[in-house]
Amino acid sequence: MGNKKHPLIFGIFISILLIVSFLIFASLDLHTEPIYSLINGVIMAAGIFISLQLYKNKQNKDLSYQDGFQISLLTGMNSTIIFTGFFAIYSYVLNPEYIQEMFGYWHMSIPVLSALTIFSVFVMGMATSVILTLTYMQLFKKPHTHQMGS
What distance in Å separates the CA atoms of residue 16 and residue 96, rounded to the nearest whole number?
22
Q: Where are the domains of the chain?
A: 5-140
Reported as a single tens digit per residue, the pLDDT across 6-53 is 999 999 999 999 999 999 999 998 887 778 889 999 999 999 999 999
Output the pTM of the full model: 0.85
147 pLDDT tier (thresholds 50, 70, 90): low
Question: Do residues 45 and 125 lie in contact, with contact meaning Cβ atoms separated by under 8 Å?
Answer: no
